[in-house]
Amino acid sequence: QDIEKKIVETRQRFTNELLQDSTEKYDSRDVERLQNDDALVENYLTWRLYVVDDALKMIDESLQWRKEFGVNDLTESVIPRWMFETGAVFLHGYDKEGNKLFWFKVKLHVKDPKTVLDKKKYVAFWLERYAKKEPGMPLTVVFDMTESGISNIDMDFVRYIINCFKVYYPKFLSKMIIVDMPWIMNAAWKIVKSWLGPEAISKLRFASKSEVQGFIGPEYLPPHMGGTDPFTYSYPPLPDDDFQICDNGPVVSEDETESRDADAESKDTLESSLNSSSFNSEEIKSEKLEKDDCPLTEHVIASHQITFHHLNICPSEELSFGSVETERKSLIILSNVAKNQVAFKVRTTAPEKYRVKPSSSCCDPGASVDIVVSLHGGSQASPQDRFLVMAAEMENAGSQELAQFWKEVPRSKVVEHRLRCHVLESAGAPVSPLRDSPVETPASGQQDLSTVLMRVMACNCRLEQKLNTCLWVQKVLTVLVLVLLMLNLLCLYLLGTSAQ
């Protein structure tokens, strides 16, 4: 309640004290967002220890900067192409806590007053792009200072980067890792630390090439830092780990024979792990996998559902996967609460790992769709993997094909919901001394129970919606009956009056 009061007070004072001076001071889109987004206001308040005066100063500075740099309208066409091609700044990979990595290759930066404004817009472009894609998710900034020297240090530019996280994007910074800093630059970074302030100094980490693996796993570190990440920056396209469509798993080669072999291998793996009836080739290629064709053992860590615009989604937050065969599948249940058909797509940041069935389809009003997400081949799930459910209402269902619909639907009508990946810590199944087959563990029973509960909750939600509809119809009918009774009474009264 205190936080809510602070938010209301901040908005009122912003309107009365800051907006009153000039309506042209800020971008109207930023003002509207501040007035409607409680989380944004709370971020400013939290970063300023809930002191409203300090939060207002921060909001004023941040919104003025956004208008000055035209942040809401920053696109690739606004920024010189050569900046993207250098690879000095980019988003790629995750740290061990699951935070996105924002890389700065310091050796590629050259101080030049003529390009400093474009460079600042370039950084703002990446930050704004990520803020819209992953709202509320913090970033870990990595300054890779390998082979850099005094000529690469631009104190004004460094200060600008710090202000981006200190003022312009509050609560956006998870930590700032300075990797392999030359000793000759110690004096410069002492100055930088004085700019950070106490709230940001605690997030600063200095690490050698060997120490950085304490923060970032080798799978997201380049070889010169002792990592195994084969990622190489290239442009175009933008090198961020965008959500990609995941239909039938990875294509290991452009050769059709190898592709068919990969599908066959995956088919055998699924058959042996599920102990189900065999799949035929048409079922493997089909966009829809009927739940009755194959008894699945799905696993879900967060069974609570969420409603967003057109669909109920269950689970609401996480899909769970483990290392044993019975934990390599998870289930998403979509229930259509709209009056029209709803088209949906499921994407993932790791399409080489997962198969999604169906990955793209539509759901009739009042109906539900089971989406099976399974690990492909010998792939292992990672906490950094993400899933994206996209949905849009089809007002003219049947008038166009699904692929054409997604090409033509306006971006403003597409809603998105993200799911995290939870990795189960599965213990090896105990083996009975009387037989070779593994004994079912309690954990497996708990996972089956979670799946049943998830289905029950989704079904319960649909029944609740139908009940609400029935109650609404009942109320309407009750009102109509009362109106008819009143009309009858009125008619009787008029007849009685005319008889007299």
Alpha-carbon distance of 128 to 139, in angstroms, equals 12
How many Cβ atoms from other residues are within 10 Å of residue 175's Cβ?
18
276 in helix, strand or coil?
coil
Its sign, for the CA torsion 364, 365, 368, 371, is: positive
Token pair of 472, please?
A: 């609404």
Its sign, for the CA torsion 86, 90, 94, 97, is: positive
DSSP state for residue 254 in the 8-state scheme: S
Token pair of 170, please?
A: 């509050």
pTM of the model: 0.54
Alpha-carbon distance of 159 to 111, in angstroms, equals 13
Its sign, for the CA torsion 309, 314, 320, 321, is: negative
Question: What are the angstrom distances between the C-alpha of 479 and each of 359, 466, 486, 492, 493?
Answer: 45, 20, 11, 20, 21
Sheet of strand 89-94, all strands in order from the earlier edge strand to the far edge? 89-94, 100-105, 139-144, 173-179, 204-207
The residue count of the chain comes to: 500
Tell the burial category of 391 from Cβ atoms under 10 Å away from its Cβ (0-12, 13-18, 19+): buried
Print pLDDT tens along the chain (500 aa): 588 899 999 999 999 888 876 668 899 999 999 999 888 898 889 888 889 999 999 999 999 999 999 999 988 888 888 888 888 998 888 898 888 899 999 888 888 888 889 999 999 999 998 888 777 788 999 999 888 877 787 878 888 888 888 888 888 888 989 898 877 777 777 777 777 666 667 788 889 988 999 999 998 999 999 999 888 887 765 544 445 444 333 333 333 333 334 334 433 433 333 333 323 333 333 333 333 333 333 333 334 555 656 678 888 788 888 877 777 888 888 888 888 888 888 888 877 788 888 888 888 888 888 888 988 777 888 887 888 888 888 877 665 678 788 878 887 788 888 888 888 875 444 333 333 333 334 444 444 555 555 566 656 655 666 676 677 778 878 888 888 888 888 888 888 777 76
Cβ atoms of residues 372 and 331 within 8 Å? yes
230: left (phi over 0), alpha (psi -120 to 50) or beta: alpha
Q: How far, in whole angstroms, is CA 293 from its chain's centroid? A: 31
Backbone angles phi and psi of 498, in degrees to 5? -70, -35
Cβ atoms of residues 313 and 305 within 8 Å? yes
Helix (H) or strand (E) holding 20: none
Alpha-carbon distance of 458 to 391, in angstroms, equals 18
Alpha-carbon distance of 373 to 356, in angstroms, equals 5
409: left (phi over 0), alpha (psi -120 to 50) or beta: beta
Tell the burial category of 311 from Cβ atoms under 10 Å away from its Cβ (0-12, 13-18, 19+): buried
